[in-house]
């Protein structure tokens, strides 16, 4: 259930991020594409208006009568395809002189509905885009808010040696439709891309999540196995320490019941030195014996420490093996001094004694079984 919620929130987060990015980028792409379309329309209209104005100006400069020039222009533009745009001509008073629709010739253009641009102001593609999308007027004398107008004058160019003006019209409704088509295409592309991207992302997240879960499960299983082994080791150590307590109690009971004429093999005292003073120490007072830097030290339960010239091998051969244990080449430890036994390294044991030893007392892996048997004996 928790994984399903995680996948759902992942899907939701990716969707929100994509929608935000796509919303911003799509608008920019649409604007760039629309500006390219409008720029093409503007440049085409400007070039056509200038060429017609130049041609008319050339005819007037050649002495051709104005009536003949007007007649030639009217016949050239009459009944032309006005689907995308067209050229017309009017004078400075606003009277239509030439128009593709012959019925409009002679009509007076209302100053409040004349154009969206003026002779003094030249429209750019960005201005044209804002005009189409926001219905914002630019440079002209009319407010661009009439929804029923099919065309708008987007460029004006005067004819030399006359009071005539060439006007380039653009079919704004068709251009708006083309921009809407561009917008719809971009939205369709982004929706398809978004769906594919989100689906692939969710699948990848699921695959990665499943792989991570398997890895995590394997790791958890390994930890469980380690914990199980550790638990077994703890149980074994607990049993070992319990055996230690039992053996210590057994040794104490044995001491109380041993007659004064016990075996002569076991020494009762060890002769030691404290500086230049000879000091005999009862074996019952010895906690542990160890060697360090070729010197043999005898440590008693009261914490006092002295030295002896006798080697560990010789000392241990004359000591009660039920009370003392040869832990390693460096240590002989009394059962009564052992405080706790803990795991150390790889299958090794460490003996903690009282009083504390500055040198670690380690039972090797090979001697661990012997030590456990000694405690159980």
Instruction: Output the six-digit token pair for 56.
Output: 């008319």
In angstroms, the CA 126 to CA 152 distance is 16
pLDDT in tens, 228-276: 665 555 556 666 666 666 666 666 666 555 554 444 457 788 989 988 8
Pairing verdict, β 164-171 and 151-158: antiparallel
What's the rounded mean pLDDT across residues 189-205?
81
Q: What is the pLDDT of residue 142?
A: 44
What are the sequence ranges of the domains in the chain? 2-191, 257-376
Out of 3.30.70, 3.30.450, 1.10.3470, 1.10.10, the CATH code matching 2-191 is 3.30.450
pLDDT, tens digit (0-9, with 9 covering 90-100), for 154-174: 788 889 888 898 988 888 778
For residue 355, say if its preceding peptide bond is cis, omega within 30 degrees of 0: yes
Average pLDDT over all residues of the chain: 79
Residue 144 has pLDDT above 60, yes or no: no
Structure tokens at 110: 């209302």
Q: Which fold has domain 257-376?
A: OB fold (Dihydrolipoamide Acetyltransferase, E2P) (2.40.50)
Residue with tokens 């002295």: 306
Residue 339's nearest CA partner among 227, 231, 204, 244 is 244
Q: Structure pTM?
A: 0.44
Residue 349: enclosing H or E segment and its boundaries?
Answer: strand 348-353
Q: How many residues does the chain have?
A: 377
- pLDDT, one tens digit per residue, over 318-370 is 888 888 999 999 999 999 899 888 888 888 899 999 999 988 999 998 888 88
Q: Do domains 2-191 and 257-376 have the same CATH topology?
A: no
């Amino acid at each position: 259930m928790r994984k399903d919620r995680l996948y759902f929130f992942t899907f939701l987060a990716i969707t929100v991020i994509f929608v935000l990015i796509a919303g911003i980028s799509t608008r920019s792409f649409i604007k760039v594409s629309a500006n390219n379309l409008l720029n093409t329309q503007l440049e085409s209209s400007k070039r056509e208006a200038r060429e017609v104005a130049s041609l008319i100006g050339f005819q007037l400069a050649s002495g051709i009568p104005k009536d003949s020039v007007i007649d030639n222009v009217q016949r050239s533009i009459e009944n032309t395809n006005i689907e995308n745009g067209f050229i017309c001509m009017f004078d400075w008073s606003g009277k239509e002189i030439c128009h593709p629709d012959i019925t409009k010739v002679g009509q007076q253009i209302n100053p409040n509905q004349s154009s969206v641009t003026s002779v003094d102001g030249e429209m750019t593609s960005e201005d044209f885009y804002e005009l189409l999308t926001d219905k914002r007027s630019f440079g002209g004398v009319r407010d661009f808010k009439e929804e029923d107008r099919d065309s708008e004058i987007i460029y004006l160019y005067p004819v030399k040696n006359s009071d005539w003006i060439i006007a380039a019209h653009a079919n704004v409704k068709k251009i708006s439709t083309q921009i809407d088509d561009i917008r719809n295409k971009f939205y369709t592309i982004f929706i398809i891309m978004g769906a594919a991207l989100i689906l692939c992302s969710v699948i990848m997240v699921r695959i990665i999540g499943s792989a991570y879960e398997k890895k995590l499960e394997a790791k958890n299983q390994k930890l469980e196995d380690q914990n199980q082994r550790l638990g077994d080791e703890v149980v074994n150590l607990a049993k070992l320490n319990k055996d230690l307590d039992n053996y210590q109690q057994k040794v104490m009971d044995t001491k109380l019941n041993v007659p004064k004429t016990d075996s002569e093999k076991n020494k009762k005292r060890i002769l030691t030195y404290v500086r230049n003073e000879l000091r005999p120490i009862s074996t019952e007072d010895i906690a542990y014996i160890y060697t360090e830097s070729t010197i043999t030290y005898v440590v008693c339960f009261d914490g006092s420490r002295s030295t002896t010239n006798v080697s560990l091998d010789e000392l241990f051969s004359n000591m009660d093996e039920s009370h003392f244990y040869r832990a390693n080449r460096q240590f002989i430890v009394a059962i009564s001094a052992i405080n706790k036994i803990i795991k150390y390294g790889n299958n090794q044991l460490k003996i903690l004694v009282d009083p504390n030893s500055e040198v670690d007392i380690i039972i090797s892996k090979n001697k661990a079984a012997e030590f456990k048997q000694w405690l159980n004996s």
